[in-house]
């Protein structure tokens, strides 16, 4: 695991050191050019001094140049100085160092500076054309003055090394400050770590984002969202356990009493009657069990297993599964819907949803009634309607029928009041709109479900 401080330092130091290297190289070249400029000017001064001291006497060129005069022109004495005077026209040597390298290009009116090697040393040379007028014809001479380059190089090195050391010190100081800044910046996170460590295992409240650096807030928010999901999940589990134990207690007590009663029977027929009621109770208990499991499945917080489905096929299958129940109550159960209607959802939950609605319609519609399940598609949205001609739900009860364990006041059929609560939770999880539609005839119940628009098929 990389430490944030090391990461920052690496990202900052490596490029900065590379930049420092480039800057030192550029600085060296620039300082060298400036040193050349300054020293060249002095060198030219020396050449001009020599020029001034040239004269023609009795047709002979005379140079009155004591060495001291040259030495005086120099500000430092670590470099060796060489000079030479020759005729410009034919290069005839007059005075100085005869083998001093001549300029490679012809001299004009401007002095010429160039680098050369002399006696194994790098030298800088200035050459200029100088006219001397004597008693005879004016003569043009080449005056060259050269010097070794130690002083310039030393000056350049000094300038560059001083500034490079300064820059390095600055970089080191910046690195130190970054380390310090990171430590201070992370201090609130350390406090947060201690707070979280000290928390109770059941404490699933959100972490306060006010005391952490702004950059970390999205992370804390994500953790808070996760914790909130955990809290919902754990609340749902607690609710489920409470519901399950409450709902199973009664049917199990009844079952136990029935079994006890059956055991006391000696007569085969009487025992058969009791066992039949045990069978019915077992079915009812099984239904409650299934409902509780559906409730646990549809709880918010649990991820859904979404699939692409054909609602027509799913609803038809569920309706046909209820045919026996409808027949037993002499209810005419019909299904309307021919074309496939695509929806997305978790198949188990959608089956449970249809099952609960049709079960209600059959349970509450008196014998001889009609129940119709209708699937259609309108404006790209799937519609499912469960319509019966039973007693309907009175308007004042409608807001409450989706609550868990709520049962209508005039309800006679067996039930626990979980069916519509399950339907509502499944609808919420799938963003399905659910409405109790008023039947124009004023009798019966019509429950309408409308799915969110399906994505257009990919071209």
Ligand X SMILES: Nc1ncnc2c1ncn2[C@@H]1O[C@H](COP(=O)(O)OP(=O)(O)OP(=O)(O)O)[C@@H](O)[C@H]1O
Would you tell me which residues interact with ligand X (CB under 6 A)? 291, 356, 360-361, 364, 388, 390-393, 401, 406-408, 411, 415-421, 445
Q: DSSP class of residue 393?
A: -
Query: Rule CB under 5 A: is residue 291 a binding residue for Mg ion?
Result: no
127 contact choice in Mg ion, ligand X, none (CB below 5 to 8 Å, kind-dependent): none
Q: How far is the CB of 313 from Mg ion (least distance, A)?
A: 24
Cβ partners under 8 Å of residue 151, min gap 6 = 39, 76, 78, 79
Query: What does 220-260 look like in DSSP terms, one character per residue?
Result: HHHHHHHHHHHHHHHHHHHHHHHHHHHHHHHHHHHHHHHHH
Largest CA distance in the chain: 168
CB closer to ligand X, 45 vs 417: 417
Tell the residue number behind the tokens 């001094």, with chain if given: 49
- Closer by beta carbon to Mg ion, 126 or else 361: 361
Q: Would you say 99 or 321 has its CB closer to ligand X?
A: 321
Nearer to ligand X, 226 or 443 (CB): 443
The closest of 444, 417, 447, 446 to 432, measured between CA atoms, is 447
Taking the complex as a whole, the smallest distance from the CB of residue 192 to ligand X amounts, in Å, to: 45
Sign for the pseudo-dihedral over CA of 120, 126, 128, 134: negative
Whichever of 108 and 395 has its CB closer to ligand X, that residue is 395
Residue 452 contacts which entry, ligand X, Mg ion, none (Cβ below 5-8 A, type-dependent): none
What are the distances in angstroms from CA 230 to CA 49, 223, 241, 280, 430? 94, 10, 16, 38, 20
Backbone angles phi, psi at 167, to 5 degrees: -65, -40
The residue among 336 and 397 lying less far from ligand X, judged by its C-beta, is 397
Q: Which is nearer to ligand X, 66 or 395 (CB)?
A: 395
User: Taking the complex as a whole, how short is the minimal distance between the CB of residue 391 and ligand X, in angstroms?
Assistant: 5
33: left (phi over 0), alpha (psi -120 to 50) or beta: alpha
Which residues make beta-bridge pairs with 381?
A: 378
The CB-of-295 to ligand X minimum distance in angstroms stands at 10
Considering only the stretches 92-100, 298-306, 355-363, 423-431, report the one whose residues sit in contact with Mg ion under the rule CB under 5 A: 355-363
Instruction: Round to whole Å and give the CA distance between 286 and 279.
Output: 10
Q: How far is the CB of 392 from Mg ion (least distance, A)?
A: 14
| Residue with smaller CB distance to ligand X, 31 or 416 | 416
Shortest distance in whole angstroms from residue 309 CB to Mg ion: 23
* Cβ atoms 162, 169 nearer than 8 A: no
The least CB distance from residue 413 to ligand X, in Å, is 7
CB 31 within 8 A of CB 182: no
Which DSSP letter does residue 215 get?
A: G
390 binds Mg ion (CB under 5 A): no
Q: How far is the CB of 407 from ligand X (least distance, A)?
A: 4
**Cβ–Cβ contacts within 10 Å for residue 8, how many?**
16
Picked from Mg ion, ligand X, none, the partner binding residue 389 (CB below 5 to 8 A depending on kind) is none
Between 96 and 444, name the residue whose CB sits nearer to ligand X: 444
CA separation, residue 166 to residues 24, 33, 160, 169 (Å):
11, 21, 10, 5
Chain residue at closest Cβ approach to Mg ion: 419
Q: Which of 101, 369, 385, 419 binds Mg ion (CB under 5 A)?
A: 419
**Size of interface with Mg ion, in residues (CB under 5 A):** 3
H helix count then E strand count, the chain: 9, 14
CB of 293 to ligand X, least distance (A): 13
- Candidates 20-28, 241-249, 340-348, 360-368 — which segment interacts with Mg ion by CB under 5 A? 360-368
Query: Does 360 engage in binding with Mg ion (CB under 5 A)?
Result: yes
Whole-angstrom CA distances from 205 to 7, 210, 234, 298 are: 33, 15, 13, 23
Residues that bind Mg ion (CB under 5 A): 360, 415, 419
């Amino acid at each position: 695991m990389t430490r944030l401080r090391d990461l920052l330092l690496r990202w900052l130091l490596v490029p900065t050191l590379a930049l420092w290297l480039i800057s030192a190289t550029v600085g060296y070249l620039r300082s060298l050019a400036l040193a050349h400029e300054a020293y060249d000017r002095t060198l030219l001064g020396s050449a001009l001094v020599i020029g001034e001291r040239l004269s023609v006497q009795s047709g002979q060129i005379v140079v009155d140049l004591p060495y001291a005069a040259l030495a005086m022109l120099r500000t430092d004495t670590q470099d060796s100085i060489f000079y030479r005077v020759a005729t410009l026209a034919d290069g005839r040597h007059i005075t100085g160092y005869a083998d001093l390298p001549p300029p490679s290009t012809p001299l004009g009116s401007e002095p010429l500076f160039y680098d050369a090697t002399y006696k194994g040393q790098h030298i800088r040379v200035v050459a200029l054309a100088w006219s001397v007028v004597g008693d005879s014809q004016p003569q043009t001479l080449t005056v060259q003055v050269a010097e070794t380059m130690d002083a310039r190089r030393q000056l350049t090195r000094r300038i560059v090394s001083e500034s490079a050391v300064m820059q390095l010190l600055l970089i080191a100081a910046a690195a130190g400050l970054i380390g310090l800044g990171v430590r201070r910046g992370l201090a609130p996170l350390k406090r947060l770590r201690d707070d979280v460590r000290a928390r109770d295992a059941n404490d699933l409240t959100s972490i306060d984002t006010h005391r952490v650096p702004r950059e970390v807030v999205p992370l804390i928010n994500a953790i808070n969202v996760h914790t909130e999901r955990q809290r919902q999940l754990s609340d749902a589990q607690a609710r489920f356990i409470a519901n399950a134990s409450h709902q199973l207690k009664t049917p199990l007590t009844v079952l136990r009493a029935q079994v006890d009663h059956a055991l006391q029977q000696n007569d085969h027929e009487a025992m058969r009657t009791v066992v039949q009621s045990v069978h019915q109770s077992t079915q009812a208990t099984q239904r409650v069990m299934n409902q509780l499991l559906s409730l646990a499945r549809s709880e918010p917080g649990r991820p859904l297993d979404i699939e692409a489905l054909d609602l027509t096929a799913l609803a038809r299958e569920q309706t046909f599964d209820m045919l026996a129940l409808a027949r037993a109550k002499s209810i005419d159960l019909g299904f309307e819907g021919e074309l496939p209607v695509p929806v997305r959802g978790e198949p188990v939950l959608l089956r449970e949803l249809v099952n609960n609605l049709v079960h209600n319609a059959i349970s509450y519609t008196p014998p001889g009634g009609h129940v119709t399940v209708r699937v259609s598609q309108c404006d790209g949205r799937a519609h499912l309607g469960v319509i019966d001609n039973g007693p309907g739900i009175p308007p004042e009860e409608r807001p409450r029928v989706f609550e868990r364990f709520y049962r209508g006041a005039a309800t006679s059929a067996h039930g626990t009041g979980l069916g519509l609560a399950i339907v509502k939770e499944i609808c919420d999880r799938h963003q399905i709109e659910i409405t109790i539609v008023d039947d124009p005839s004023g009798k019966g119940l019509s429950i309408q479900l409308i799915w969110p628009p399906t994505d257009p098929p990919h071209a």
